[in-house]
Amino acid sequence: MLAPIILFVYNRPKHTRRTLAALEKNFLAADSLLYIISDASKNADSVEAVNEVRSIIREPWNFKHITIIERRRNWGLADNVIDGVTKIMNEHGQAIVLEDDLETAPYALTYFNDALLRYQDETRVMEISGYMYPVANPKRLPKSFFFRVANSWGWATWKRAWDQFDPDINRLTANFDRQDIKHFSIDGTENFWKQVKAFKAGKINSWAIRWYLSVFKNDGLVLYPRESMVQNIGTDGSGTHSDADNVYYVQLAHRKMKYFPNEIREHEKAYEAIKHFYAHRKGSLLERLIRFGLKRLTKNKTH
C-alpha cells in the first residue's frame, strides 16, 4: 500500500503550481492518495493569493484521489502540520509530507515508499528525508545513509514514530546539559539550539524544531539520500519563514534509489560532511555581504 501524500499550501500560487507539476510527474503519482491542506488568509493582503492557490489545487491533477481540506481561519504552518499529519497518520499509519515550495525528483515517491517499507519495523529509524544538503565531495558517501537531524524539506514517517512527537518544548529540553546541546547542534555548527531558545521566547512557532527534538530525545535516526530527491524552491524570499538564499540549492536525483543501509547507525563520514557544510555554508565575509544585499533587494521588491 503506497503512503498517502500530505501537501500544505498557503499563499504562493506560482510555487504551488510548480510543486504540484513536479509531484504529478513522479512515477507513483497516479497511484497515490493526495491530501492538500490549504490554510486561510492571515490578513486582507493575502486573500487574493490564497484564493488563487485554492483555484490551482482544484485543477485536474493526476493522482489516484485528491482530498482538499480548506481551513476557515488561519491556523499557521505549525498547527496545520501537527493537526494534519496526526489525523492522516492515525488513518493510514504512514505518510509523505510536503509543503508548497518543494520540487520533487521523478523518483521521490518511489524512494519514500521503498524506504518506508524497508524500515517500517526499525524503531530507531524515525524519518525518511527527501532533501540532502549540497555537501562537498558527495561521492565519498554511500547512496543513502543515516544522520541524526530531522529534516522538514520533504519527509516521510510512520505513526509509530510520529506518536513520539511531543509539542511541549520545555518537557523535551528539561534534562538537556551542555553535552546534549553540543550533540543536538552538531558541535555548534548549526543554529538548532538558537531555534529552541527563540521558540521559548515566543519569537518563532516551529513544529520542525520540536520534531527534531522528539527524534533526538528518542535516539532516533533519519535516512538521507546522497542525491537529493527534493529541491526547496522557496528560498527566494517569498515564504513566511524564509529569506532569499541559494546556499541550499541542489541538483535533483535522476536515478532510482536502489541502496538502503542494513546497519542502523549514524554514518560518520556523512556526519562530518554535513557538519562541514553547516560550518562553512555562509561563506566568506564578502559572500555574506553579497547575500545580505540580495536578501534586502528581494524583500524590497516583494513589499
Taking phi over 0 as left and psi of -120 to 50 as alpha, with beta for the rest, 188 belongs to left
What is each CA distance from 51 to 12, 41, 58, in whole angstroms? 10, 9, 11
Which domains does the chain show, CATH number per domain? 5-164+218-302 (3.90.550.10)
Q: Any idea of the CA torsion for 152, 158, 164, 165, to the nearest 10 degrees?
A: 30
Amino acid at 24: E
CB 167 within 8 A of CB 86: no
**Secondary element (H or E) of residue 145:** strand 144-147
- pLDDT tens series, the chain, 303 aa: 999 999 999 999 999 999 999 999 999 999 999 999 999 999 999 999 999 999 999 999 999 999 999 999 999 999 999 999 999 999 999 999 999 999 999 999 999 999 999 999 999 999 999 999 999 999 999 999 999 999 999 999 999 999 999 999 999 999 999 999 999 999 999 999 999 999 999 999 999 999 999 999 999 999 999 999 999 999 755 544 444 468 999 999 999 999 999 999 999 999 999 999 999 987 655 655 664 566 566 555 544
Query: 192 and 212 in contact (C-beta within 8 Å)?
Result: yes
